[in-house]
Structure 1
């Protein structure tokens, strides 16, 4: 396979994303319907076998996305592995706690790493359709979603049933109604009491607001380039703004007009999300070279063992780099 074909197989254009509308148990619950769920790299925690997955192969983490109109909620749930979000369009009200009693509103370029063992949900506020990228740690994402019992109760009567093995049964699409013994058991009050709670102030160390990005000591001594270390392990070589043990980390590269990052490689798995502007990626792999231009919202799964450079082609560009380690090696 040529390097250009390999690039094409590892590129997901924002305008070509294919949503799933019944990926989870709450997909038809009034107030939680009208959601688009995207599996970009890896199947993540999607419960439906009918969910489209753009790139199935993972290397330590999954990349997905959520899109929804104003007023539509993603219901209270928890994860056993890391869940990080980067808001791309619109404004999202995140709420968390066993009753969703705490909240914060995030917008374009804001990043949050939500702790495990904590119920969380989100809804779009304002007037615009909201879209954000998600990162899930681990190849299998820890065995799926843990739903608040009220979410499972509210889903009843809408044709979706969650089985104890984490698979979704859709009777509207022709699946058989499962027996009572096959269904996911509801969490008890005692089990609910084991989940954590954070005040809004306690959650702020897990948030990097776009307006507060702090340039870090760069790996590249290059003009017109700002490098940001956003989320990663507190013991990492980089001074990450959000210090959390997520098995993944997030860098960002902001290139002003004429800015570029030279050819380089990392030992960690990398995925690029082009957030703003147009960015040219020149890839070198096994002696072969090829290029691709990333436009706003495109996702590129960097082939393992490849090196690449980034060049800003228009205005200011901002590109996130998701790394398959929360303690990446400094270049």
Structure 2
């Protein structure tokens, strides 16, 4: 049996919110006006970052990717589409998710504890909204992408146009060339072609009613969100469940064949297993290794989200 001491678990399988390492230039739109302040995090797996220097906290394949986005009010993540399912848990702040090529076809607003599931083949973007007048505090989204390799981002055409003005070139291999820093397109390499009208026509444009159906609201309570019988029944490549624990209660977690991930949305919990235990605060992530039984004990009223394959 693998010896999972507390020290080893902390070092290899825990990512603390306070220790997250952001990338400030992960994507082609990083210099576009209104997008300069966004932070991207790759917590488990490579994610879809276009910056080869992006820090990956845990590289071990899980069958899905875990990431995060942190933005101050007014900061925009430009319209794009993904090759795999994209799901966000709103950890803090208020957010507007805009749909369609220019984000004008539909939108839906989300608050802490809400979950939005964005399917493939659809342009989406998101903006952090101010919580009150004068609000400048950044807010955070916990993200899950399907697959070990979630592919590349398909950007709306206007994103290429704006990026060119600010010195960034996206290459066919998904990497960025920063001409402001003196970088040049490598000999023989080709820039990513601008998204075509044919590619755009192949994407779904949702209605306002469809947009509403993409969201699980916090008020709906705990239970299966992505699973057979859950709120979202279409295939994602992973499952998502919400657990609510009252103070001084616990939740047993049987050993599984694959690693599964827990995110503390609010509150505080202690994970205990035969060889150790550690405390987790709001925003922290732990990946439970295959074959390990454990339990979560709530020090206060706590909400956790579990991701598995």
Give TM class, smaller chain: over 0.9
1:133 aligns with 2:142: yes
1:255 aligns with 2:245: yes
Please give the alpha-carbon distance, in whole angstroms, between the structure 2 residues aligned to 1:317 and 1:268. Answer: 25
Cα deviation for residue 272 of structure 1 reads 0.5
Please give the alpha-carbon distance, in whole angstroms, between the structure 1 residues aligned to 2:127 and 2:148. Answer: 27
**2:218 alignment counterpart:** 210
Write out aligned runs for 1:151-300 (5 A): 151-178=159-186, 182-213=190-221, 215=222, 228-232=223-227, 236=228, 239-284=229-274, 289-300=275-286
Identify if the C-alpha distance between structure 1 residues 105 and 57 changes in structure 2 by more than 3 Å, giving closer, same or farther: same
Identify if the C-alpha distance between structure 1 residues 191 and 5 changes in structure 2 by more than 3 Å, giving closer, same or farther: same
Please give the alpha-carbon distance, in whole angstroms, between the structure 2 residues aligned to 1:119 and 1:75. Answer: 9
Write out aligned runs for 1:60-139 (5 A): 60-101=63-104, 102-126=106-130, 127=135, 128-139=137-148
**1:18 alignment counterpart:** 21
CA offsets per residue over residues 192-232 of structure 1, 9 Å max, x none?
1111011121123321010122x5xxxxxxxxxxxx11123
Cα deviation for residue 165 of structure 1 reads 1.2
Identify if the C-alpha distance between structure 1 residues 159 and 97 changes in structure 2 by more than 3 Å, giving closer, same or farther: same
TM (norm. structure 1) is 0.86
CA offsets per residue over residues 258-314 of structure 1, 9 Å max, x none?
211135223343100011111010134xxxx11111111000011122111011112
CA contact (8 A) 1:161 1:178 kept: no
Please give the alpha-carbon distance, in whole angstroms, between the structure 2 residues aligned to 1:99 and 1:172. Answer: 27
Match of 2:117, SS?
A: strand
Please give the alpha-carbon distance, in whole angstroms, between the structure 1 residues aligned to 2:273 and 2:249. Answer: 17
CA offsets per residue over residues 126-180 of structure 1, 9 Å max, x none?
1342210110000010x21111111111111323210011111123445324579
Match of 2:101, SS?
A: coil
TM (norm. structure 2) is 0.92
Q: How many pairs align?
A: 300
**1:323 alignment counterpart:** 308
Q: Which runs of 5+ in 2 are unaligned?
A: none
Structure 1 stretch displaced more, 265-274 or 48-57: 265-274
1:309 aligns with 2:295: yes
Superposition CA RMSD, Å = 1.7
Match of 1:140, SS?
A: coil
Among 4, 7, 10, the alignment partner of 1:5 is 7
